């Protein structure tokens, strides 16, 4: 017998996924707000503090290169694979993600097709905040280990920062626009592993629902948007999605 989720997926022509840190916990990356989440261990660095202070910048590189390789070593899990499969088969058009771990790309969604929309950037590389020159983390790590700091941009002396969007930093305009048009064009919007409390990202599920799409939320805990969803599954993402593989 088909589950409610299988039925909704079968009936839809244009699915959009919306993913949060909960999708990657089954790959071993802790989320932020669960009891064992990252925020219980380390306070995030605000963008303004990163810009204002050289020592804060070096503190952020120290955290990055301190030996915890959880994100770098993580591999896509069943949830990522189901999302990739539905996108590559054309059933889903894109994934809007709050994650910064590159696991959607690693699960086989082609980067050139712009189907992964990153709202909070990507932690697997860095960029100059002035000229946008890209720096690979391996290069910066080598520099940090050799001289105890990461230098400014080789081209323009601008500040180099991991390509993530920090608290206090403005949202990436192009990604926000693409996320909005994908949301408005979908007929089924599926949230996977997000507490739905981080705005403006959490506007998208509400927008999809207001625009006539069905809304599914798969999250271990309750979210503020459970009340407007067509289907809410308080379950583990892997267990719940493996039937779609």
Our finding on whether 38 is near ligand NAD (CB under 6 A) is yes
Residues in 201-230 at the binding interface with ligand NAD, rule: CB under 6 A: 219-221
Our finding on whether 22 is near ligand NAD (CB under 6 A) is yes
**Minimum CB distance to ligand NAD smaller for 31 or for 127:** 31
Residue with tokens 């993600």: 97
Which residues lie below 8 Å from residue 47, measured CB to CB, with a gap of 6+?
166, 167, 168, 169
Distance CA 219, CA 134 (A): 34
Min CB(2)–ligand NAD separation in Å: 21
Give the tokens for residue 189: 């919007």
DSSP β-bridge partners for residue 117: 96
Cβ pair 138, 117 in contact under 8 A = no
Element (H, E) at 95: strand 92-97
Our finding on whether 237 is near ligand NAD (CB under 6 A) is yes
Cβ pair 94, 117 in contact under 8 A = yes
Site string for ligand NAD, 138-177 (x = CB under 6 A): ----------------------------------------
Q: Total residues contacting ligand NAD (rule CB under 6 A)?
A: 27
CA atoms within 13 Å, Cβ hemisphere of 123: 19
Question: Can you tell me which of 33, 64, 81, 133 binds ligand NAD, judged by CB under 6 A?
Answer: 33
**Minimum CB distance to ligand NAD smaller for 12 or for 195:** 195
**Minimum CB distance to ligand NAD smaller for 15 or for 121:** 121
Our finding on whether 16 is near ligand NAD (CB under 6 A) is no
String of DSSP letters for 204-229: HHHHHHHTT-EEEEE-SS--TTGGG-
Give the number of other Cβ atoms within 10 Å of residue 64's Cβ: 17
Our finding on whether 182 is near ligand NAD (CB under 6 A) is no
Question: Can you tell me which of 57, 80, 104, 120 binds ligand NAD, judged by CB under 6 A?
Answer: 120
Which residues are catalytically annotated?
Answer: 120
Residues near ligand NAD, by CB under 6 A: 20-22, 24-26, 29, 31-34, 37-38, 98-101, 120, 193-195, 198, 219-221, 236-237
């Amino acid at each position: 017998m088909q589950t409610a989720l299988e039925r909704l997926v079968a009936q839809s022509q244009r699915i959009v996924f919306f993913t949060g840190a909960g999708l990657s916990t089954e790959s071993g990356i802790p989320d932020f707000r669960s009891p064992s989440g990252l925020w219980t261990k380390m306070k995030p660095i605000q963008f303004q503090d990163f810009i204002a202070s050289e020592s804060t910048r070096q503190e952020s590189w120290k955290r990055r290169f301190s030996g915890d390789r959880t994100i770098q070593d993580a591999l896509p899990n069943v949830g990522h694979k189901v999302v990739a499969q539905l996108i590559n088969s054309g059933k889903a058009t894109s994934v809007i993600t709050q994650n910064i771990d590159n696991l959607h790309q690693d699960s086989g969604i082609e980067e050139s097709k712009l189907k992964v929309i990153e709202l909070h950037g990507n932690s697997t590389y860095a960029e100059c905040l002035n000229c946008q020159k890209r720096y690979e983390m391996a290069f910066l790590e080598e520099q940090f280990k050799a001289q105890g700091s990461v230098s400014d941009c080789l081209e323009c002396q601008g500040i180099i920062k991991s390509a993530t969007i920090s608290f206090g930093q403005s949202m990436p305009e192009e990604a926000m626009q693409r996320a909005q048009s994908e949301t408005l064009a979908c007929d089924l919007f599926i949230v996977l592993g997000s507490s739905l409390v981080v705005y403006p990202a959490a506007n998208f599920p509400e927008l999809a629902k207001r625009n006539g799409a069905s809304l599914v939320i798969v999250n271990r805990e309750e979210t503020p948007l459970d009340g407007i969803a067509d289907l809410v599954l308080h379950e583990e993402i892997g267990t719940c999605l493996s039937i779609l593989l």
